[in-house]
Amino acid sequence: MTADYLIVGQGIAGSILAWTLSQRGHHVLILNDPTLPSASKVSAGIFNPLTGKKLSRTWKADELFPFAHKFYSEMQQLLEVEFLHDCDVYRPFRSIEEQNSYIAQTADPTIAKYVIDRTNDAEFAPYIQNQYGGLQITRSGWVDCTRMLQKIETYFSDKKQYSYGKIDYQKIEIQEDGVKYGELKIKKILFCEGFEARQNPFFSWLPFNPVKGQSLIAFIDNYPIKEIVNQGVFILSIDGKGKCRLGATYTWHDIDWETTEDARAYLQEKINVFLKTPYQILEQQVGIRPSTKDRRPFVGIHPEYPSLGIFNGLGTKGVSLAPYFAEQFAKFLETGEEINKEANIERVFSLYFRSK
């Protein structure tokens, strides 16, 4: 059997790369191990152009966000499923000082275009502590990643282009005109393994900096807020009927797939500061985000084996980064068009040659 590309891993990165290449006319196969834990399946899928205490504009926001919105809109239309949810992010001010600081920052035109002039604070007041008002960020929202991933799996399975199983690196046979994997003859294997890439002998030299994140699924009775409310941690309405995600934690130590009481207590403490309405915790979830040392993706071809590539390192911003860089990677594979230097793995090639 022959194919153009074998995609290893079907998280956010693998799904979007497989879809992008397939839509461009390439024959794509996906190999995914469903027994492995997945950060993508518990991802909140939030995209937000202004983040952090300093109201920093997301890297390449002016390019990434319009591209991602068009991508997901077209993708869900073709797949006949809804998973893209446009909604604002409401940030209640903690103090007069924070209010003044944020309002001053919105005088910057590059920030102002992402902020609504007049926030309807009264709409949030019955449910959210907002005595100082709040800031409302637009051009944001969330992607229902679980739903999207399920639909992508079904799409490629129906086309007989999906296999379940673990990649066996020993079976990869590099050839002059491509690569052989068992009975498969393919142009390139493209690894989209997330955190598991650290076990990949071809790409284990890449400087990942994984981040463990935990969130809570809760039921908030009579909670009508459609916007994502964020004050250090967020409340995201999942179904519009009270089921919400509360998140998230960020830790760079004890990197495992176990939920912890500390994380649960931390999230509840933070949420209780600004949520007025009682809630019930239904579930606690954990994921390990494949972040990188310089907070930029790893996109490109192996420094020694041109038939092996990687699409990884999307970290906490997978839903906003993946469509744009999948398109760049596809064009690179087709015509050699240059990948953004900050994302191209060529920036860390020296680590590979140093490790040999």
Q: What is the pLDDT of residues 184-219, one digit of tens each?
A: 999 999 999 999 999 999 999 999 999 999 999 999
Q: Is the peptide bond before 263 cis (omega within 30 degrees of 0)?
A: no
Statement to judge: residues 196 and 96 lie in one domain: no
What pLDDT, on the 0 to 100 scale, is given for residue 226? 96
Separation of alpha carbons 333 and 79, rounded Å: 25
- Burial of 30 by CB count in 10 Å (0-12 exposed, 13-18 middle, 19+ buried)? buried
Tokens found for residue 241: 């009927």
Statement to judge: residues 199 and 253 lie in one domain: no
Collapsing DSSP to helix, strand or coil, 5 comes out as strand
Statement to judge: residues 152 and 132 lie in one domain: no
What pLDDT, on the 0 to 100 scale, is given for residue 331? 98
Statement to judge: residues 177 and 242 lie in one domain: no
**Total of domains in the chain:** 2
Statement to judge: residues 250 and 345 lie in one domain: no
Separation of alpha carbons 345 and 311, rounded Å: 10
The answer to whether residue 11 is domain-embedded is yes
Statement to judge: residues 275 and 331 lie in one domain: no
What pLDDT, on the 0 to 100 scale, is given for residue 354? 86
The answer to whether residue 82 is domain-embedded is no
What pLDDT, on the 0 to 100 scale, is given for residue 183? 92
Q: Are 314 and 296 in contact (CB under 8 A)?
A: no
Statement to judge: residues 172 and 220 lie in one domain: no
Separation of alpha carbons 182 and 136, rounded Å: 53
| pLDDT > 70: percent of the chain | 100
What pLDDT, on the 0 to 100 scale, is given for residue 145? 97
What pLDDT, on the 0 to 100 scale, is given for residue 325? 98
**Averaged over 271-285, what is the pLDDT?**
97
Residue 28 host element (H or E): strand 28-32
The answer to whether residue 272 is domain-embedded is yes
Residue ending a domain, choose from 256, 289, 322: 289
What pLDDT, on the 0 to 100 scale, is given for residue 224? 95
Convert 293-328 to b/e letters by CB count within 10 Å (16 or more is b): eeebbbbbbbbeeebbbbbbbbbbbbbbbbbbbbbb
Residue ending a domain, choose from 267, 289, 311: 289
- Burial of 218 by CB count in 10 Å (0-12 exposed, 13-18 middle, 19+ buried)? buried
Q: Are 284 and 216 in contact (CB under 8 A)?
A: yes
The answer to whether residue 176 is domain-embedded is yes
Statement to judge: residues 321 and 200 lie in one domain: yes
* pTM across the whole model: 0.96
Statement to judge: residues 126 and 233 lie in one domain: yes
What pLDDT, on the 0 to 100 scale, is given for residue 56? 87
What pLDDT, on the 0 to 100 scale, is given for residue 78? 97
What pLDDT, on the 0 to 100 scale, is given for residue 236? 98
What pLDDT, on the 0 to 100 scale, is given for residue 164? 97
The answer to whether residue 75 is domain-embedded is no
**Averaged over 168-174, what is the pLDDT?**
97
| pLDDT > 90: percent of the chain | 93
What pLDDT, on the 0 to 100 scale, is given for residue 52? 82
Residue ending a domain, choose from 289, 306, 323: 289
What pLDDT, on the 0 to 100 scale, is given for residue 156? 98
Measured in whole angstroms, the distance separating CA 159 from the mean position of its chain's CA atoms is: 26
What pLDDT, on the 0 to 100 scale, is given for residue 355? 78
Please determine, for residue 1, whether its predicted confidence score (pLDDT) is greater than 90: no
Q: What is the pLDDT of residues 84-103, one digit of tens each?
A: 999 999 999 999 999 999 99
* CATH at residue 249: 3.30.9.10
The answer to whether residue 56 is domain-embedded is no
Q: Are 205 and 293 in contact (CB under 8 A)?
A: no
DSSP calls for 286-302? EEEE--BTTS--EEEE-
The answer to whether residue 59 is domain-embedded is no
Statement to judge: residues 262 and 275 lie in one domain: yes
The C-alpha angle 79, 80, 85, rounded to 5 degrees, equals: 95
Domain that holds residue 31: 2-42+146-206+294-355
Convert 273-286 to b/e letters by CB count within 10 Å (16 or more is b): ebbeeebeeeebbb
Residue 65 host element (H or E): helix 61-79
Indicate the pLDDT class of residue 136, thresholds 50, 70 and 90: very high
**Averaged over 153-182, what is the pLDDT?**
96
Separation of alpha carbons 103 and 117, rounded Å: 10
**Averaged over 249-270, what is the pLDDT?**
96
Tokens found for residue 35: 């027994």
**Averaged over 250-279, what is the pLDDT?**
96
Please determine, for residue 124, whether its predicted confidence score (pLDDT) is greater than 80: yes
Q: Are 68 and 320 in contact (CB under 8 A)?
A: yes
Indicate the pLDDT class of residue 8, thresholds 50, 70 and 90: very high
Statement to judge: residues 231 and 278 lie in one domain: yes
- Burial of 264 by CB count in 10 Å (0-12 exposed, 13-18 middle, 19+ buried)? middle
Please determine, for residue 356, whether its predicted confidence score (pLDDT) is greater than 80: no
User: 295, 284, 312, 315: which is closest to 211 by C-alpha?
Assistant: 315
Separation of alpha carbons 130 and 274, rounded Å: 8
Indicate the pLDDT class of residue 54, thresholds 50, 70 and 90: confident
The answer to whether residue 53 is domain-embedded is no
| Residue 150 φ then ψ, to 5° | -60, -40
Statement to judge: residues 223 and 331 lie in one domain: no
What pLDDT, on the 0 to 100 scale, is given for residue 21? 98
